[in-house]
Amino acid sequence: MQELTGKQKSFLRGLGQRLSPLATVGKAGLSEETAANLRRLLEAHELVKVQLPGELGGGRTEYGQTLAAAVGAACAGVVGRMALLYRPSETLHPARRLTLP
């Protein structure tokens, strides 16, 4: 996955504000089942909001980056306990694909 520019991250965070979290990472961390579910969600939506575990403390940004790398996506941002992941989808209908600035 290519690295996102600041303008692209800002654009995706703006879109992500109105999204509800589609996935949750529990206390046990990222399991293979959770990673597979995230891959399916990214293929269907391109932009997915993920709820992170509460006991991460200050390492939420790093955890968001690790999570994104595990599923082949880019982390557009982490705010509180929410991470926003983006990965372009080849199977998504062209009219539903996101066009980054």
Domains within the chain, CATH numbers bracketed: 6-91 (3.30.110.60)
- Token pair in block for residue 1: 């996955």
pLDDT at 46 over 90: yes
- What DSSP state is assigned to residue 11? H
- How would residue 19 be classed by pLDDT, with cut points 50, 70 and 90? very high
Give me the mean pLDDT over the 14-20 stretch: 94
Given a contact cutoff of 8 angstroms between Cβ atoms, the answer to whether 81 and 52 are in contact is yes
Separation of alpha carbons 11 and 99, rounded Å: 10
pLDDT of residue 28: 81
Amino acid at 40: R
Helix 32-45 with 60-71: angle, nearest 10 deg: 80
pLDDT at 44 over 90: yes
Q: pTM of the prediction?
A: 0.91
Q: Which of the given ranges, 10-19, 27-36, 86-95, has the highest pLDDT on average?
A: 10-19
- What DSSP state is assigned to residue 54? G
